[in-house]
Amino acid sequence: MQRAIFFDKDGTLIENLPYNVDPSLIRFMPGAAAALVALYTAGYRLFIISNQSGVARGYFAEAALAGVQQWLASQFSAIGVVLDGFSYCPHHPAGRVAAYTTICNCRKPAPGMLLQAARDHQIDLGQSWMIGDILDDVEAGHRAACKTMLVNNGGETEWVFGPLRKPHIMVRDLAAAADVILATDAYRPIRRAPAALFQEVLM
């Protein structure tokens, strides 16, 4: 069983441009690249867990997400790390596209995407983290029995708390998130990115 970091996509890992599926407009959030390198080097497997209700709302076709996944995988590779999985939920109960207008077990705050990724990749959820910028991400992490972290960068605006919506830790950005994780968990390097990439990313 392996440890993993599950990242929310929009507003956490990449800049939040609502319903965007144009890879040319995708940009990493500040500190994201350095965090990915540090966590990958420490042996964590890296996953993206994303609600994509734009499919259900009719804003873009589900097939468009393949281009987003390819871009993200290429950007991970460019800094010497591996994107182990990209999971998305295309559903929304108030959608306009009938095939996707449903209540499901994958749309966060439900834990379905995390549970499936754990089954597919032999992930120890109790030794893994869910990181997001809203409390729905935190709740999904708790429901999957992960440790949870909220990146408090303005993404959460409603602040509806509950027993499952209190993050274990709150940070300002992904660079701080990586620092906290590596200080909290036992640091046992398993694989290393090339030193040149470290220097390029961290400068």
Q: Which domains does the chain have, with CATH numbers?
A: 4-197 (3.40.50.1000)
Query: Using 50, 70 and 90 to split pLDDT, how confident is the model at 31?
Result: very high
pTM reported for the whole predicted model: 0.91
Alpha carbon of 148 to those of 67, 87, 153, 169: distances in Å?
Answer: 29, 18, 16, 7
Alpha carbon of 151 to those of 58, 172, 191: distances in Å?
Answer: 29, 5, 26
User: Which pLDDT score is estimated for 200?
Assistant: 37
Q: Which residue has the higher pLDDT, 202 or 31?
A: 31
Beta bridge partners of 172: none
Write the DSSP assignment of 91-154 as a string of letters: --TT-SSGGG-S--SSSTTS-HHHHHHHHHHTB-GGG-EEEESSHHHHHHHHHTT-EEEEE-SS
Q: What is the pLDDT of residues 72-99, one digit of tens each?
A: 999 999 999 999 999 999 999 999 999 9
- Show which residues are catalytic: 8, 10
